[in-house]
Chain A
Amino acid sequence: MNFYLRTLRRDLRIHLRGLSEVINPLVFFVVVISLFPLGLGPSPQQLSEVAPGVIWVAALLATLMAMDLMFRDDFSDGSLEQVVVSGQPLLVFVFAKVTAHWLISGLPLVLLVPAVGLVMFVDGDRLQAMVVTLLLVSPTLSLLGAIGAALTVSLARGGLLVSILVLPLYVPVLVLATAMVQAAGSEADTAGYLYWLLAALLASITLAPLAIAAGLRLAVDR
Protein backbone atom coordinates (compact mmCIF):
# COMPACT_ATOMS: atom_id res chain seq x y z
CA MET A 1 0.00 0.00 0.00
CA ASN A 2 2.84 2.27 0.85
CA PHE A 3 4.55 1.65 -2.44
CA TYR A 4 1.28 2.45 -4.20
CA LEU A 5 0.86 5.73 -2.35
CA ARG A 6 4.48 6.76 -2.73
CA THR A 7 4.43 6.08 -6.46
CA LEU A 8 1.10 7.85 -6.83
CA ARG A 9 2.41 10.88 -4.97
CA ARG A 10 5.57 10.94 -7.04
CA ASP A 11 3.63 10.75 -10.26
CA LEU A 12 1.22 13.49 -9.27
CA ARG A 13 4.13 15.70 -8.33
CA ILE A 14 5.75 15.11 -11.68
CA HIS A 15 2.57 15.82 -13.60
CA LEU A 16 1.69 18.91 -11.62
CA ARG A 17 5.12 20.34 -12.23
CA GLY A 18 4.60 20.04 -15.96
CA LEU A 19 1.05 21.30 -16.02
CA SER A 20 1.00 22.32 -19.65
CA GLU A 21 1.39 18.69 -20.67
CA VAL A 22 -1.66 17.86 -18.62
CA ILE A 23 -3.73 20.69 -19.97
CA ASN A 24 -3.03 20.07 -23.65
CA PRO A 25 -5.27 17.02 -23.99
CA LEU A 26 -8.07 18.86 -22.21
CA VAL A 27 -7.77 21.77 -24.61
CA PHE A 28 -7.77 19.28 -27.45
CA PHE A 29 -11.01 17.86 -26.09
CA VAL A 30 -12.73 21.23 -26.15
CA VAL A 31 -11.32 22.25 -29.52
CA VAL A 32 -12.35 19.03 -31.23
CA ILE A 33 -15.89 19.30 -29.94
CA SER A 34 -16.04 22.93 -31.06
CA LEU A 35 -15.18 21.91 -34.59
CA PHE A 36 -18.39 19.97 -34.98
CA PRO A 37 -20.78 22.89 -35.02
CA LEU A 38 -18.48 24.47 -37.58
CA GLY A 39 -18.62 21.32 -39.63
CA LEU A 40 -22.28 20.46 -39.19
CA GLY A 41 -24.04 23.76 -38.80
CA PRO A 42 -25.27 25.62 -35.72
CA SER A 43 -28.74 24.11 -35.43
CA PRO A 44 -29.27 23.26 -31.73
CA GLN A 45 -31.48 20.33 -32.61
CA GLN A 46 -28.91 18.63 -34.82
CA LEU A 47 -26.08 19.30 -32.43
CA SER A 48 -28.04 18.02 -29.49
CA GLU A 49 -28.73 14.81 -31.34
CA VAL A 50 -25.12 14.09 -32.26
CA ALA A 51 -23.73 15.44 -28.99
CA PRO A 52 -23.35 12.21 -26.99
CA GLY A 53 -21.43 10.46 -29.75
CA VAL A 54 -19.29 13.51 -30.52
CA ILE A 55 -18.43 14.23 -26.91
CA TRP A 56 -17.65 10.58 -26.26
CA VAL A 57 -15.38 10.18 -29.26
CA ALA A 58 -13.59 13.40 -28.35
CA ALA A 59 -13.12 12.03 -24.84
CA LEU A 60 -11.60 8.82 -26.23
CA LEU A 61 -9.21 10.78 -28.40
CA ALA A 62 -8.25 13.15 -25.59
CA THR A 63 -7.49 10.20 -23.32
CA LEU A 64 -5.25 8.74 -25.98
CA MET A 65 -3.51 12.09 -26.41
CA ALA A 66 -2.55 11.91 -22.78
CA MET A 67 -1.24 8.35 -22.95
CA ASP A 68 2.31 9.39 -23.66
CA LEU A 69 2.45 10.90 -20.20
CA MET A 70 2.15 7.57 -18.52
CA PHE A 71 5.32 5.63 -19.08
CA ARG A 72 7.49 7.49 -21.55
CA ASP A 73 9.43 9.60 -19.05
CA ASP A 74 10.08 6.74 -16.69
CA PHE A 75 11.31 4.68 -19.57
CA SER A 76 13.67 7.29 -20.96
CA ASP A 77 15.22 8.42 -17.69
CA GLY A 78 15.83 4.91 -16.42
CA SER A 79 13.30 4.87 -13.58
CA LEU A 80 11.39 2.00 -15.13
CA GLU A 81 14.55 -0.12 -15.14
CA GLN A 82 15.04 0.63 -11.47
CA VAL A 83 11.49 -0.44 -10.66
CA VAL A 84 11.89 -3.74 -12.50
CA VAL A 85 15.26 -4.56 -10.93
CA SER A 86 14.11 -3.61 -7.45
CA GLY A 87 11.73 -6.52 -7.32
CA GLN A 88 8.88 -4.37 -6.10
CA PRO A 89 5.50 -5.61 -7.37
CA LEU A 90 5.12 -4.26 -10.87
CA LEU A 91 1.33 -4.59 -10.71
CA VAL A 92 1.20 -2.14 -7.81
CA PHE A 93 3.38 0.24 -9.79
CA VAL A 94 0.99 -0.07 -12.73
CA PHE A 95 -2.03 0.64 -10.55
CA ALA A 96 -0.39 3.72 -9.15
CA LYS A 97 0.53 5.03 -12.60
CA VAL A 98 -2.96 4.43 -13.97
CA THR A 99 -4.57 6.09 -10.95
CA ALA A 100 -2.34 9.12 -11.39
CA HIS A 101 -3.13 9.24 -15.07
CA TRP A 102 -6.83 9.05 -14.44
CA LEU A 103 -6.61 11.86 -11.91
CA ILE A 104 -4.97 14.18 -14.43
CA SER A 105 -6.77 13.01 -17.54
CA GLY A 106 -10.05 11.20 -16.94
CA LEU A 107 -11.31 13.18 -13.99
CA PRO A 108 -10.74 16.62 -15.57
CA LEU A 109 -12.58 15.43 -18.67
CA VAL A 110 -15.55 14.49 -16.53
CA LEU A 111 -15.47 17.94 -14.97
CA LEU A 112 -15.44 19.52 -18.42
CA VAL A 113 -18.49 17.62 -19.65
CA PRO A 114 -21.10 20.06 -18.28
CA ALA A 115 -19.36 22.89 -20.11
CA VAL A 116 -19.14 21.15 -23.47
CA GLY A 117 -22.61 19.74 -22.89
CA LEU A 118 -23.82 23.28 -22.73
CA VAL A 119 -22.41 24.27 -26.11
CA MET A 120 -23.74 21.10 -27.68
CA PHE A 121 -27.19 21.62 -26.20
CA VAL A 122 -27.27 18.51 -24.05
CA ASP A 123 -29.90 18.89 -21.38
CA GLY A 124 -30.66 17.65 -17.86
CA ASP A 125 -31.11 13.86 -17.94
CA ARG A 126 -28.77 13.22 -20.79
CA LEU A 127 -26.12 15.49 -19.34
CA GLN A 128 -26.33 13.67 -16.05
CA ALA A 129 -25.98 10.36 -17.84
CA MET A 130 -22.96 11.68 -19.73
CA VAL A 131 -21.21 12.67 -16.55
CA VAL A 132 -21.99 9.38 -14.85
CA THR A 133 -20.93 7.23 -17.78
CA LEU A 134 -17.71 9.13 -18.33
CA LEU A 135 -16.95 8.90 -14.64
CA LEU A 136 -17.44 5.14 -14.70
CA VAL A 137 -15.70 4.52 -17.98
CA SER A 138 -12.71 6.86 -17.83
CA PRO A 139 -10.72 4.49 -15.59
CA THR A 140 -11.36 1.76 -18.15
CA LEU A 141 -10.14 4.10 -20.87
CA SER A 142 -6.96 4.77 -18.91
CA LEU A 143 -6.42 1.07 -18.29
CA LEU A 144 -6.93 -0.05 -21.86
CA GLY A 145 -4.91 2.86 -23.18
CA ALA A 146 -2.12 1.92 -20.81
CA ILE A 147 -1.84 -1.45 -22.54
CA GLY A 148 -1.07 0.32 -25.78
CA ALA A 149 1.22 2.77 -24.02
CA ALA A 150 3.19 -0.03 -22.37
CA LEU A 151 3.62 -2.01 -25.57
CA THR A 152 4.90 1.02 -27.48
CA VAL A 153 6.85 2.85 -24.79
CA SER A 154 10.18 1.96 -26.33
CA LEU A 155 9.29 3.64 -29.59
CA ALA A 156 10.37 7.22 -30.15
CA ARG A 157 7.15 8.30 -31.80
CA GLY A 158 4.57 5.80 -30.62
CA GLY A 159 1.69 8.20 -30.11
CA LEU A 160 -0.36 7.51 -33.21
CA LEU A 161 0.32 3.80 -33.04
CA VAL A 162 -1.18 3.68 -29.55
CA SER A 163 -4.39 5.13 -30.95
CA ILE A 164 -4.57 2.51 -33.70
CA LEU A 165 -4.01 -0.27 -31.21
CA VAL A 166 -6.40 0.93 -28.55
CA LEU A 167 -9.38 2.47 -30.38
CA PRO A 168 -10.86 -0.90 -31.43
CA LEU A 169 -10.76 -1.92 -27.78
CA TYR A 170 -12.80 1.16 -26.90
CA VAL A 171 -15.71 0.14 -29.13
CA PRO A 172 -17.72 -1.79 -26.51
CA VAL A 173 -17.63 0.94 -23.88
CA LEU A 174 -18.35 3.60 -26.47
CA VAL A 175 -21.42 1.70 -27.63
CA LEU A 176 -22.61 1.06 -24.07
CA ALA A 177 -22.08 4.58 -22.83
CA THR A 178 -23.73 6.39 -25.72
CA ALA A 179 -26.65 3.96 -25.58
CA MET A 180 -27.10 4.78 -21.93
CA VAL A 181 -27.13 8.49 -22.65
CA GLN A 182 -29.78 8.01 -25.35
CA ALA A 183 -31.82 5.88 -22.97
CA ALA A 184 -31.59 8.53 -20.29
CA GLY A 185 -32.83 11.07 -22.78
CA SER A 186 -35.91 9.02 -23.57
CA GLU A 187 -36.73 8.33 -19.94
CA ALA A 188 -35.87 4.65 -20.26
CA ASP A 189 -34.36 2.68 -17.44
CA THR A 190 -30.62 3.04 -17.29
CA ALA A 191 -29.81 0.68 -14.43
CA GLY A 192 -28.94 -2.19 -16.76
CA TYR A 193 -26.38 -0.08 -18.60
CA LEU A 194 -24.80 0.98 -15.35
CA TYR A 195 -24.28 -2.63 -14.35
CA TRP A 196 -22.67 -3.42 -17.68
CA LEU A 197 -20.37 -0.41 -17.47
CA LEU A 198 -19.40 -1.42 -13.96
CA ALA A 199 -18.69 -4.93 -15.20
CA ALA A 200 -16.48 -3.52 -17.95
CA LEU A 201 -14.62 -1.49 -15.36
CA LEU A 202 -14.07 -4.47 -13.08
CA ALA A 203 -12.97 -6.67 -15.95
CA SER A 204 -10.41 -4.12 -17.10
CA ILE A 205 -9.12 -3.52 -13.56
CA THR A 206 -8.55 -7.25 -13.23
CA LEU A 207 -7.09 -8.06 -16.62
CA ALA A 208 -5.51 -4.97 -18.13
CA PRO A 209 -2.74 -4.58 -15.50
CA LEU A 210 -1.41 -8.02 -16.42
CA ALA A 211 -0.92 -6.97 -20.01
CA ILE A 212 0.45 -3.58 -18.96
CA ALA A 213 3.02 -5.09 -16.60
CA ALA A 214 4.06 -7.60 -19.25
CA GLY A 215 4.52 -4.77 -21.74
CA LEU A 216 6.65 -2.78 -19.29
CA ARG A 217 8.91 -5.74 -18.60
CA LEU A 218 9.37 -6.11 -22.33
CA ALA A 219 10.31 -2.46 -22.65
CA VAL A 220 13.30 -2.75 -20.33
CA ASP A 221 14.31 -6.11 -21.78
CA ARG A 222 16.87 -4.79 -24.23
Chain B
Amino acid sequence: MLRASGLSCERDRRQLFSALDVSLDAGQLVQVTGRNGSGKTTLLKVLSGLYTEFEGEVAWSIDRPPLYLGHSPGVNPRLTVTENLNWLCHLQDTDPAAGDLDDVLSVLGMAGYQDTLCHNLSEGQRKRVNLARFLLCENACWIMDEPFSSIDTAGLRYLEDRMQGHLEQGGGIILTSHQRPMFAVDIQQVALSS
Protein backbone atom coordinates (compact mmCIF):
# COMPACT_ATOMS: atom_id res chain seq x y z
CA MET B 1 0.00 0.00 0.00
CA LEU B 2 2.66 2.43 1.02
CA ARG B 3 6.37 2.51 0.39
CA ALA B 4 8.16 5.48 1.90
CA SER B 5 11.93 5.56 1.76
CA GLY B 6 14.73 7.81 2.85
CA LEU B 7 12.53 10.19 4.78
CA SER B 8 14.46 12.99 6.43
CA CYS B 9 12.94 15.89 8.15
CA GLU B 10 14.30 18.87 9.99
CA ARG B 11 12.19 21.25 12.04
CA ASP B 12 13.26 24.18 14.17
CA ARG B 13 16.86 23.21 13.68
CA ARG B 14 16.33 19.71 15.00
CA GLN B 15 16.70 16.64 12.88
CA LEU B 16 13.50 14.73 13.59
CA PHE B 17 14.34 11.66 11.58
CA SER B 18 16.67 10.78 8.76
CA ALA B 19 16.84 8.01 6.19
CA LEU B 20 13.65 6.54 7.58
CA ASP B 21 11.80 3.82 5.68
CA VAL B 22 8.16 3.08 6.31
CA SER B 23 6.08 0.50 4.53
CA LEU B 24 2.53 -0.64 4.97
CA ASP B 25 0.87 -3.71 3.52
CA ALA B 26 -2.70 -4.88 3.58
CA GLY B 27 -3.77 -6.08 7.00
CA GLN B 28 -0.81 -4.41 8.68
CA LEU B 29 -0.68 -1.88 11.46
CA VAL B 30 2.21 0.52 11.80
CA GLN B 31 2.66 2.08 15.21
CA VAL B 32 4.87 5.13 15.43
CA THR B 33 6.38 5.50 18.86
CA GLY B 34 8.53 8.09 20.48
CA ARG B 35 8.53 10.73 23.15
CA ASN B 36 6.46 13.88 22.86
CA GLY B 37 8.01 16.18 20.33
CA SER B 38 9.97 13.44 18.63
CA GLY B 39 8.25 14.00 15.33
CA LYS B 40 5.45 11.43 15.36
CA THR B 41 2.83 13.89 14.20
CA THR B 42 5.20 15.29 11.59
CA LEU B 43 5.81 11.83 10.20
CA LEU B 44 2.10 11.18 9.91
CA LYS B 45 1.66 14.50 8.17
CA VAL B 46 4.47 13.67 5.77
CA LEU B 47 2.83 10.36 4.92
CA SER B 48 -0.60 11.89 4.45
CA GLY B 49 0.68 14.58 2.13
CA LEU B 50 0.13 17.58 4.37
CA TYR B 51 3.71 18.35 5.22
CA THR B 52 6.05 18.83 2.28
CA GLU B 53 9.32 20.04 3.77
CA PHE B 54 11.05 16.69 3.78
CA GLU B 55 13.50 14.68 1.76
CA GLY B 56 12.77 11.22 0.54
CA GLU B 57 9.94 9.55 -1.30
CA VAL B 58 6.41 8.65 -0.35
CA ALA B 59 4.71 6.29 -2.79
CA TRP B 60 1.12 5.25 -2.27
CA SER B 61 -0.46 2.48 -4.28
CA ILE B 62 -4.08 2.62 -3.23
CA ASP B 63 -6.96 4.03 -5.20
CA ARG B 64 -8.25 6.38 -2.55
CA PRO B 65 -6.34 8.78 -0.35
CA PRO B 66 -5.84 7.80 3.29
CA LEU B 67 -8.28 8.91 5.95
CA TYR B 68 -6.51 11.24 8.32
CA LEU B 69 -7.27 11.95 11.93
CA GLY B 70 -5.18 14.80 13.27
CA HIS B 71 -5.21 16.82 16.43
CA SER B 72 -8.13 18.93 15.27
CA PRO B 73 -11.26 16.91 14.55
CA GLY B 74 -12.25 18.83 11.41
CA VAL B 75 -15.69 19.46 12.78
CA ASN B 76 -17.33 22.87 12.46
CA PRO B 77 -19.04 23.92 15.68
CA ARG B 78 -21.95 25.61 13.93
CA LEU B 79 -23.04 22.52 12.07
CA THR B 80 -24.84 19.52 13.47
CA VAL B 81 -23.21 16.12 13.77
CA THR B 82 -25.08 14.88 10.72
CA GLU B 83 -24.19 17.89 8.61
CA ASN B 84 -20.54 17.63 9.53
CA LEU B 85 -20.42 13.90 8.90
CA ASN B 86 -22.17 14.20 5.57
CA TRP B 87 -19.73 16.79 4.33
CA LEU B 88 -16.67 14.96 5.65
CA CYS B 89 -17.84 11.78 3.93
CA HIS B 90 -18.58 13.73 0.78
CA LEU B 91 -14.91 14.68 0.74
CA GLN B 92 -14.26 10.98 0.36
CA ASP B 93 -16.86 10.62 -2.40
CA THR B 94 -19.15 8.75 -0.05
CA ASP B 95 -22.75 9.61 0.68
CA PRO B 96 -23.82 7.61 3.70
CA ALA B 97 -27.41 6.60 4.11
CA ALA B 98 -29.17 8.01 7.15
CA GLY B 99 -29.56 4.54 8.60
CA ASP B 100 -25.85 3.74 8.39
CA LEU B 101 -25.07 7.04 10.00
CA ASP B 102 -27.40 6.30 12.91
CA ASP B 103 -25.87 2.86 13.38
CA VAL B 104 -22.34 4.11 13.43
CA LEU B 105 -23.15 6.91 15.80
CA SER B 106 -24.78 4.58 18.28
CA VAL B 107 -21.84 2.18 18.07
CA LEU B 108 -19.60 5.04 19.09
CA GLY B 109 -21.89 6.05 21.92
CA MET B 110 -23.26 9.10 20.15
CA ALA B 111 -26.79 7.91 19.55
CA GLY B 112 -29.32 10.71 19.52
CA TYR B 113 -26.72 13.36 18.84
CA GLN B 114 -27.54 13.54 15.14
CA ASP B 115 -28.98 17.02 15.26
CA THR B 116 -26.82 18.45 18.00
CA LEU B 117 -24.69 21.41 17.08
CA CYS B 118 -21.08 20.43 17.47
CA HIS B 119 -20.61 23.58 19.46
CA ASN B 120 -22.24 21.70 22.33
CA LEU B 121 -20.02 18.66 22.11
CA SER B 122 -16.91 17.97 24.13
CA GLU B 123 -13.54 17.51 22.52
CA GLY B 124 -13.79 13.77 22.80
CA GLN B 125 -17.24 13.74 21.27
CA ARG B 126 -16.07 15.80 18.31
CA LYS B 127 -13.26 13.36 17.83
CA ARG B 128 -15.78 10.56 17.74
CA VAL B 129 -17.68 12.39 15.00
CA ASN B 130 -14.50 12.34 12.95
CA LEU B 131 -13.96 8.70 13.84
CA ALA B 132 -17.45 7.91 12.63
CA ARG B 133 -16.47 8.58 9.07
CA PHE B 134 -13.73 5.94 9.32
CA LEU B 135 -16.55 3.49 9.71
CA LEU B 136 -18.66 4.98 6.94
CA CYS B 137 -16.10 5.48 4.19
CA GLU B 138 -14.32 2.77 2.30
CA ASN B 139 -10.78 4.05 2.28
CA ALA B 140 -8.19 1.35 2.61
CA CYS B 141 -5.70 3.20 4.73
CA TRP B 142 -6.25 4.93 8.04
CA ILE B 143 -3.73 7.42 9.41
CA MET B 144 -4.56 8.27 12.99
CA ASP B 145 -2.74 10.55 15.37
CA GLU B 146 -3.48 9.54 18.97
CA PRO B 147 -6.87 7.99 18.18
CA PHE B 148 -7.30 6.64 21.69
CA SER B 149 -6.93 9.86 23.59
CA SER B 150 -10.14 11.62 24.75
CA ILE B 151 -12.14 8.41 24.31
CA ASP B 152 -13.75 6.68 27.27
CA THR B 153 -13.37 2.95 27.96
CA ALA B 154 -16.55 1.88 26.20
CA GLY B 155 -15.77 3.86 23.10
CA LEU B 156 -12.24 2.49 23.23
CA ARG B 157 -13.43 -1.07 23.03
CA TYR B 158 -15.66 -0.34 20.05
CA LEU B 159 -12.89 1.51 18.30
CA GLU B 160 -10.39 -1.29 18.75
CA ASP B 161 -13.03 -3.72 17.56
CA ARG B 162 -13.60 -1.79 14.37
CA MET B 163 -9.92 -1.28 13.78
CA GLN B 164 -9.39 -5.00 14.02
CA GLY B 165 -12.21 -5.52 11.57
CA HIS B 166 -10.67 -3.04 9.18
CA LEU B 167 -7.35 -4.88 9.31
CA GLU B 168 -9.05 -8.21 8.77
CA GLN B 169 -10.72 -6.85 5.66
CA GLY B 170 -7.33 -6.01 4.22
CA GLY B 171 -7.07 -2.39 5.25
CA GLY B 172 -4.01 -0.76 6.74
CA ILE B 173 -3.56 1.51 9.73
CA ILE B 174 -0.77 3.88 10.67
CA LEU B 175 -1.14 5.37 14.09
CA THR B 176 0.65 6.96 16.98
CA SER B 177 -0.16 5.76 20.45
CA HIS B 178 1.53 5.34 23.76
CA GLN B 179 0.17 1.86 24.26
CA ARG B 180 0.76 -1.10 22.05
CA PRO B 181 -2.45 -1.94 20.18
CA MET B 182 -3.25 -5.40 21.46
CA PHE B 183 -5.91 -6.23 18.93
CA ALA B 184 -3.67 -6.24 15.89
CA VAL B 185 -1.85 -9.31 14.70
CA ASP B 186 0.64 -7.87 12.26
CA ILE B 187 2.24 -4.88 13.96
CA GLN B 188 5.25 -2.98 12.83
CA GLN B 189 6.77 -0.46 15.18
CA VAL B 190 8.57 2.62 13.96
CA ALA B 191 10.44 4.22 16.80
CA LEU B 192 11.50 7.84 16.58
CA SER B 193 14.24 8.90 18.92
CA SER B 194 14.56 12.50 19.99
Contacts and interface: CB of A to CB of B under 8 A. Distances in A.
User: Does A associate with B in a complex?
Assistant: yes
Interface of A: 2-3, 6-7, 10, 13-14, 17-18, 73-74, 76-79, 81-88, 220-222
B52 A77 contact: no
A222 B51 contact: yes
B50 A79 contact: no
A74 B83 CA distance: 15
A76 B50 contact: no
Interface stretch (B26-34, B69-77, B147-155): B69-77
B66 interface: yes
B78 interface: yes
B88 A85 contact: no
Given A6-B90, A78-B71, A78-B75, A85 B83 contact: no
Given A3-B90, A85-B65, A14 B49 contact: no
Interface of B: 48-53, 64-66, 68, 70-79, 83, 87-88, 90-92
Contacts of B79: 10, 13-14, 17
B75 to A, nearest CB: 6
14 contacts: A14-B78, A74-B76, A76-B72, A77-B75, A77-B76, A78-B70, A78-B71, A78-B72, A78-B73, A78-B74, A78-B75, A81-B72, A81-B74, A87-B64
Chain A CB count within 10 A is highest, among B52, B75, B76, for B76
Contacts of A81: 50, 68, 70, 72, 74
Contacts, number: 66
B49 A85 contact: yes
A86 B64 CA distance: 9
B74 A86 contact: no
A73 B65 contact: no
B77 A85 contact: no
A220 B88 CA distance: 17
Contacts of A17: 78-79
Contacts of A2: 90
A77 B49 contact: no
B91 A221 contact: no
A220 B68 CA distance: 13
B52 A82 contact: no
Contacts of A18: 78
A10 B87 contact: yes
B121 to A, nearest CB: 12
A221 B91 CA distance: 19
Given A77-B77, A78-B70, A79-B76, A86 B50 contact: no
Chain B CB count within 10 A is highest, among A73, A78, A221, for A78
Contacts of B77: 77
Given A13-B83, A221-B50, A222-B51, A86 B91 contact: yes
Nearest to A86: B91
B123 to A, nearest CB: 11
A82 B74 contact: yes
B76 A14 contact: yes
A222 B68 CA distance: 15
A81 B70 CA distance: 8
A6 B76 CA distance: 15
B88 A82 contact: yes
Nearest to A217: B52
